[in-house]
Amino acid sequence: MTTVAAEQTPPFAMVHGQPLHELPMDLYIPPDALEIILETFEGPLDLLLYLIRRQHLDILAIPLTEITRQYLVYIELMQALKLELAAEYLVMAALLCEIKSRLLLPNDNPVDSDEPDLQATLIQRLLEYEQIKQAAVALDQLPQLGRDVFAVCIAPPMYLPRRPPPPVALTDVLNALQQVLKRAQQFTAHQVIQEPLSQRDRMTVIMAHLQTINSVSFYDLLTLHEGRAGVVITLLAVLELMRAALLDCIQAEPFAPLQIRLCQPSANHLIM
Amino acid sequence: MSTVSKSFNHVTTPLLKQVIEAALLASGETLTIEQLQALYSDEQRPHRTDVNAALAALRTDYANRSIELIAVAGGYRIQIRQEFAPFIAQLWEEKPVRYSRALLETLALIAYRQPITRSDIEAVRGVTVTTQMIKTLMERDWIHVVGQRETPGRPSLYATTKTFLEYFGLSSLDALPPLPQLSEPLANNPPVFIDETDPNL
Amino acid sequence: MSTVSKSFNHVTTPLLKQVIEAALLASGETLTIEQLQALYSDEQRPHRTDVNAALAALRTDYANRSIELIAVAGGYRIQIRQEFAPFIAQLWEEKPVRYSRALLETLALIAYRQPITRSDIEAVRGVTVTTQMIKTLMERDWIHVVGQRETPGRPSLYATTKTFLEYFGLSSLDALPPLPQLSEPLANNPPVFIDETDPNL
């Protein structure tokens, strides 16, 4: 993998130091799907198990040379695709090669105790891993709360004697927010500039206002004493709510007053 | 639509009744006739009269049960009958006297991101929003529904109330403490926090 | 106590059934027999067998309803039956989370081999178990630390929780699906890799 052969078309991958221009036929994987499939392996044991099971082979009698060859092809493909390759995959490759080389050596020392150990251990690990893999599938098929079955949640009688609700300090709320933001930060796709709170406030006011009446003129949303800044905030709030598909803005004719109303469910929504 | 539901009336009525019961028991909220109809896909959507008939049937079913179906402003709700209050009260006495971290986080997100839907909140990693949590915050009159987002499912949009401001001694939402110096991780629109490829999900 | 409840058996049974139903529906959680008994004051406390009889009666009552009574995590819970899930899902816009294979395999290992250390899990799965994954399972309250193995580094031993049982609807760990049989390598006939002499095979 350290040298790249200068070819007219770049090789798909380097296998055993040789450029590979086409996917081996016995991989049975359309190239588009390759990356996805490679990413779905849960580790070297999973990959090895896949190679074995794909050919309906018995774990207890694995054709080592062939499986090792296929395993190495996958490893090199993964490296060619620059997939992050865990060290475990390489350790397994080394182990397979070692077992293979021992098998190829003249067996003039039949009491060598190391050799059967390596094989038996690997096979034992494969069996054990397959068992857990199936157990995980069985676990996932159990009826799960919130996915298959649902908790009941109904209102208790009124006037229920109850203890006073716990007190909460504003700092508790702030701390909670800080924690949740800190967590969310690890999963952010991109950064967005924080909007001023007053616009959020205005959005809520407008939404609440529209719960009571069908539609409102844009001008009626403005308050004189807020001045220019108030107009800007209100406009931004309306635009933001329109962008979020919460509001419709209607103008009967050019220069007519803008009417703001709650979004009506469209035909599209019903189809979905 | 009416024709379809009418012709299948005999077949669908018992099932419809069960579906309505399931929805009312699972949501714990007041559901409108429209929300109950929307449980079905367009082609199978029951007619309003069928829904009403099913609700009436449920009310009869509950005659000897511990629950009752009541019509409240804007819809229907199942609740525990009043006479069971003394027994049920025992359960609530065992409840913890502190709010969970998840509940406080939910409240904080509603305060700072309003109006916000449940799934917006959930999209922020690690906070599961249970119906119970929303109910607790509603019962405390700290949050209320200010509308629905016009996306499939028409999810409720939550915002904080006047009571919330009063409880925390805030003159307005502007008076909320400024967010800490965290580089802003929460996009408001589009909410894009769930990393589907995250192997830990 | 037993005498009292026995003598009032005919009168109290229907009411007891309703009280239990009210408690299970109102709490929405798993309640133990003891918690159900504790709904009554000392003098009126029903006998365990009466509670069991009432639970059995409820189970029969629910045969044609959208709900079911199940034994879970050492107690009882009323839940919405699985066949209503597609309808209920309409109530909330968010799709149920699907867990990754990595997470399920780790969870399965902890469930079946508990108590187990992180390196035990890594040995079976052949890959590193990330801190994030353990954290995710802990945050879901599916696993917890039950001790340390007394080896160098004193690694934490993980086991599943009551919440895990409740989430997967299991009455106890014994109710886990049986592990698939390992194809047993014969002791006197150790498994071998076949060495094909033809490398192009």
- In tens digits, chain B (201 residues) has pLDDT values of 333 333 343 333 448 999 999 999 998 888 999 999 999 988 889 999 999 999 999 999 998 899 999 888 778 989 888 888 888 877 766 555 678 888 888 999 999 889 999 888 888 766 678 888 898 899 889 999 999 888 877 889 999 998 898 888 888 888 888 775 544 444 333 333 333 333 333
Give contacts of A104 with chain C, Cβ < 8 Å. Answer: 195
Contact status of B63 with chain C (Cβ, < 8 Å): no
- What's the confidence (pLDDT) of residue B197? 36
- What's the confidence (pLDDT) of residue B8? 40
- If contacts are CB pairs under 8 Å, which of residues 35-74 in chain B contact chain A? 42, 67
Report the percent of chain C where pLDDT is more than 90: 54
Q: What is the mean pLDDT of residues A53-77?
A: 81
Judged against a pLDDT cut of 50, whether residue C201 lies above it is answered with no
Give contacts of A180 with chain B, Cβ < 8 Å. Answer: 105, 108-109, 124, 126-127
Q: Between the CA of residue A62 and those of A96, A134, C26, C43, what are the distances in Å?
A: 12, 20, 58, 71
Q: Which of C28, C102, C109 sits opposite A152 (nearest CB)?
A: C28
Sketch the domain layout of chain C as residue ranges.
Answer: 8-80, 97-194
The whole-chain average pLDDT of chain C stands at: 83
Task: State whether B115 and A203 contact (CB < 8 Å).
Answer: yes
Judged against a pLDDT cut of 70, whether residue A270 lies above it is answered with no
3-state secondary structure chain A: CCCCCCCCCCCCEEECCEEECCCCHHHCCCHHHHHHHHHCCCCHHHHHHHHHHHCCCCCCEEEHHHHHHHHHHHHHHHHHCCCCCCHHHHHHHHHHHHHHHHHHCCCCCCCCCHHHHHHHHHHHHHHHHHHHHHHHHHHHHCCCECCCEEECCCECCCCCCCCCCCCCCHHHHHHHHHHHHHHHHCCCCCCCCCCCHHHHHHHHHHHHHHHHCCEEEHHHHCCHHHHHHHHHHHHHHHHHHHHCCCEEEECCCCCCCCEEEECCCCHHHHHC
- What's the confidence (pLDDT) of residue B160? 94
Q: Which of C78, C126, C191 sits opposite A152 (nearest CB)?
A: C78
Contact status of C154 with chain B (Cβ, < 8 Å): no
Q: Is CATH 1.10.10.10 correct for C97-194?
A: yes
Judged against a pLDDT cut of 50, whether residue C42 lies above it is answered with yes
CATH number for region C8-80:
1.10.10.10
Task: State whether B189 and A162 contact (CB < 8 Å).
Answer: no
- The Cα–Cα gap between A81 and B167 comes to 57
Q: Which of A42, A104, A152 sits opposite C25 (nearest CB)?
A: A152
* Assessment of whether the complete model's pTM goes beyond 0.90: no
CA distance C182 to chain B (A): 27
- If contacts are CB pairs under 8 Å, which of residues 172-201 in chain C contact chain A? 176-177, 179-180, 182-183, 185, 190-196, 199, 201
Contacts of A180 (CB under 8 A, 6+ apart): B105, B108, B109, B124, B126, B127
pLDDT tens column, C162-179: 999 999 999 999 999 998
- What's the confidence (pLDDT) of residue C117? 96
What is the sign, positive or negative, of the torsion defined by CA atoms of B56, B58, B60, B62?
A: negative
Of residues A9 and A44, which shows the higher confidence score?
A44
Band the pLDDT of C199: cuts 50, 70, 90: very low
Judged against a pLDDT cut of 90, whether residue A90 lies above it is answered with no
- What's the confidence (pLDDT) of residue B87? 84
Of residues A258 and C111, which shows the higher confidence score?
C111
Q: Which of B23, B66, B81 sits opposite C87 (nearest CB)?
A: B23
Q: What is the mean pLDDT of residues A21-42?
A: 58
Q: What is the mean pLDDT of residues C139-164?
A: 92
Q: Which of A174, A181, A264 sits opposite B186 (nearest CB)?
A: A181
Task: State whether C94 and B118 contact (CB < 8 Å).
Answer: yes
CATH number for region A199-262:
1.10.10.580
The whole-chain average pLDDT of chain A stands at: 72
Whether C8-80 shares its CATH topology with C97-194 is answered yes
CA distance A218 to chain C (A): 31
Task: State whether C91 and B126 contact (CB < 8 Å).
Answer: no
Sketch the domain layout of chain A as residue ranges.
Answer: 23-104+117-138, 199-262
- What's the confidence (pLDDT) of residue B33? 93
pLDDT tens column, A197-227: 567 778 888 888 888 788 888 878 877 667 6
Judged against a pLDDT cut of 80, whether residue A53 lies above it is answered with yes
